[in-house]
Homo-oligomer: A and B are copies of this chain.
């Protein structure tokens, strides 16, 4: 039976990486600077450490980011985009542009749902 087009399956594979919200965000946040675990976590609306770890590991496995551990006393781990990883940036840009063109601007006031509760009083 098999799928009639390989294209589709390729797409399928690529979508596993590009298709994940979290992956996209990690890559995006790493766009112009190396970040540490905690920095990433806080930038991403306080995403769960379990979740972020998983995606970080995936991206590392896919050679999209590199993970550097500094064996210091207060442990430090830094994440950086690799070259292949940087190749995704233009794609994200395109997505954002598309979003800007066809979707209503979304003022930004609503932020992400995840910390609407946290910012409660706000």
* Interchain CA distance A50-B20 in the complex, whole Å: 22
Q: Give the B-binding residues of A (Cβ under 8 A).
A: 1-16, 18-21, 24-25, 28-29, 43-46, 63, 84, 87-88, 90-92, 94-96, 98-103, 106, 108, 110-112, 115, 118-119, 122
Contacts of A46 in B (CB 8 A): 1
B8 engages A44 (CB within 8 Å): yes
A112 engages B3 (CB within 8 Å): yes
Given contacts A10-B96, A15-B25, 17 further A-B contacts (CB under 8 A): A3-B111, A8-B25, A8-B43, A9-B108, A10-B100, A11-B21, A11-B25, A11-B28, A12-B21, A12-B25, A13-B103, A14-B95, A14-B99, A15-B20, A15-B21, A84-B101, A87-B102
A98 engages B87 (CB within 8 Å): yes
A95 engages B15 (CB within 8 Å): yes
Contacts of A88 in B (CB 8 A): 98
CB A106 to nearest CB in B, in angstroms, measures 6
* Interchain CA distance A69-B7 in the complex, whole Å: 28
- 9 smallest beta-carbon distances between A and B, as pairs: A6-B108, A14-B99, A84-B102, A15-B21, A19-B19, A2-B111, A91-B94, A3-B45, A14-B95
